[in-house]
Amino acid sequence: MLIVLPGDNIIGTIKHVFERNPRANKIVDEIHLLAREYGDVLKIMNFCGTHEWTISHYGLRTLMPDNVELIAGPGCPVCITPGYYVDLLIDLSFEEYVIHTYGDAYKLPGTRIRGVRSLYEAHASGGKVRVVYSFLDSLKHALREKDEKHVFFAVGFETTMPTTAFPLMAHSVPENLLILHAYRLTPPVMKHLLENRPDIRLDGVIAPGHVSSIIGANAWVFLPEEYNIPVVVSGFEPVDVLLAVKYILEMKLEDKPRLVNEYTRVVRPEGNISAKKAIQKVYEARTAYWRAIGYIPDSGAYPKKEYRNRDLAAVLGIEEKPGPREHLPGCRCPDVVLGAAKPTDCPLFMKRCTPENPYGPCMVSSEGTCRIWAENMPLII
Ligand code: SF4
């Protein structure tokens, strides 16, 4: 049996929270008072993997009243990136292309039953794979190595889209560099969750801080207006997250759901205008496949016709098609990503699936809920 308990290191980090910001103590007391007054169970989804890291690393769940539950959401782009992209890039790495990937997606499993499972394994078997920090790195490599053909694996949400949108808009991407666009958009997945998974009843949402710095806090106003759900755009310090919980409780008690921007030091209501303009100029939203979740309308960003000359799928004439093993047997990632299960509900957690040897996609990236839980919680096995 596997039990996850708040052990000494969690107590240590909680102490650290209060030392870092004396206000934290007061906010926790206020949360308890408000939760007692509210009475019912309150389920709050933190969309973003980095919020999940803050909550897990600082042991914030252990500070919550019994009736306040913090649920991790779909905010890990690597976790939902289809395995068929990985298969395609593995094939290309053994042909004439050098594949550029973020370190986060290096060990992302593809959909094969046997053989090479990830770009990491492809590299170990002689495939041409390179880890890059950004698209700028890829540009530099492609300009330096003009005789090679390069492919950049563009995984991410709206936060990373400007890094390719600006060079595409400026037509400064060299001919020997193609982009595999695996971009996914965040508001559509929240709509999908609310409309298709009534079992995951949400009372409040902590909206992603990084994504909102690009798309703007106002992008989340549909949650209170269309779904009656309070939403707080929050920063990533423990106190930011505690404040978000407190604001959601206050809105629930007043029965006045609205949008609150707690992260005003970074996020503007309208977002980053020039980044948004570049994204809108280069990309269009289309229905896209989310790994093991399925197709979600308007949730993928693909280049418009005039920018497809550097798009791998368009240049090679590849049709996107989910592989037979997008869902790995036994892996509960589809439920973990949508907040319907915890990592510890998965029988493979810290057994067959560990940060060193990830089996499922949620254990690969530092933003994956399983990886975060594995690395931040003391375990008794
Ligand atoms: S522990 Fe591993 S196998 Fe289980 S849900 Fe998480 S990623 Fe999937």
Q: Is residue 347 part of a domain?
A: yes
- Looking at the domain assignment, is residue 318 inside a domain? no
Q: Indicate whether residue 333 lines ligand 1 (CB < 6 A).
A: yes
Q: Determine whether 181 is exposed, middle or buried from the number of CB atoms within 10 Å of its CB (0-12, 13-18, 19+).
A: buried
- How remote is the CA of residue 104 from the centroid of ligand 1, in Å? 16
352 Cα: distance to centroid of ligand 1 (angstroms) = 9
Residue at 348 is within a domain: yes
pTM comes to 0.92
Domain count, the chain: 1
Q: What single-letter DSSP state applies at residue 173?
A: S
Paired tokens of 125:
């078997």
Atom 7, ligand 1: residue with shortest CA distance: 360
At 178 the three-state DSSP class reads: strand
Partners of 75 in beta bridges:
48
Contacts of residue 97, Cβ cutoff 8 Å, sequence gap at least 6: 128, 149, 150, 151, 178
Q: Which stretch of DSSP H or E encloses residue 25?
A: helix 23-38
Residue closest via CA to ligand 1's atom 3 equals 331
How large is the greatest C-alpha to C-alpha distance in the chain, in angstroms? Answer: 68
For residue 354, give its domain range: 333-380
Residues in the chain with pLDDT values less than 50: 1-2, 380-381
- Strand ranges (DSSP E) for the chain? 3-4, 42-48, 68-75, 97-101, 129-131, 149-156, 177-183, 204-207, 231-233, 259-261, 283-290, 294-303, 379-380
In-domain check, residue 216: no
For residue 366, tell me if it sits in a domain. yes
Confidence (pLDDT) at 165:
98
Question: Is the residue at 352 inside a domain?
Answer: yes
Does residue 42's CB lie within 6 angstroms of at least one atom of ligand 1? no
CA distance 186 to 45: 14
Establish if 111 belongs to a structural domain: no
pLDDT of residue 286: 96
Q: What residues does 48 pair with on adjacent strands?
A: 75
Please indicate, yes or no, if residue 354 is contained in any of the structural domains: yes
Interior CA angle at 146 toward 143 and 151, to 5°?
A: 75
What letter does residue 349 receive in the DSSP assignment?
A: B
Residue found under tokens 């996609």: 361
Ligand 1 pocket, mutate which of 291, 293, 346 (most atoms under 8 A from CB): 346
- Structure tokens of 91? 């094939």
97-114 pLDDT tens trace: 999 999 999 999 998 766
CA distance 177 to 139: 8
Ligand 1 contacts CB of residue 283 (under 6 A)? no
Q: Which amino acid is at 204?
A: G
Q: Is 146 exposed, middle or buried (0-12, 13-18, 19+ CB in 10 A)?
A: exposed
Per-residue pLDDT at 19: 73
| H/E segment holding residue 89 | helix 83-93
Q: How far apart are CA 260 and CA 265, in angstroms?
A: 13
Ligand 1 midpoint to CA 164 (Å): 31
- Assess contact for 246 and 70: CB atoms under 8 A: no
Helix (H/G/I), strand (E/B), else coil: 343 = helix
The strands making up 204-207's β-sheet, listed across from edge to edge, are 68-75, 42-48, 204-207, 231-233, 259-261
How many angstroms separate the CA atoms of 156 and 161, rounded? Answer: 7
